[in-house]
Amino acid sequence: MGTEGPYIQLRPQGGGREWDCPPANVRPVGTTKRCVECSTIKAEHAEAVAAGDVSRATDCTVLMGRHQRAAHT
Ligand SMILES: [Zn+2]
């Protein structure tokens, strides 16, 4: 994980492309409960990245941002 501009780059645990995440949506690992919806979105994002589907990956990032604001604030 590193920082670049206003975003924090997250890397899927299994490796792969980093994805940009607004810092407000990032929390240290272990401080939040596991969330089924987060896991689902993360899995779909990883799948999209693995498939090289940038558009779908971006959708997942947006979806995750919305979900985080709605469910984790
Ligand atoms: Zn969640």
pTM (predicted TM-score):
0.54
For residue 66, the CA-to-ligand 1 centroid distance in Å is 10
Which distant-in-sequence residues (6+ apart) come within 8 Å of 26 by Cβ?
Answer: 8, 10
For residue 24, the CA-to-ligand 1 centroid distance in Å is 14
In this model, does residue 1 exceed pLDDT 60?
no
For residue 72, the CA-to-ligand 1 centroid distance in Å is 6
* 71 strand-pairing partners: none
For residue 41, the CA-to-ligand 1 centroid distance in Å is 9
For residue 27, the CA-to-ligand 1 centroid distance in Å is 12
Q: How many CB atoms lie within 10 A of CB 47?
A: 13
Rounded mean pLDDT of 15-22?
Answer: 68
Q: What's the whole-number average pLDDT of the chain?
A: 81
**Model pLDDT for residues 48-68, shown as the tens digit of each residue:** 999 999 999 999 999 999 999
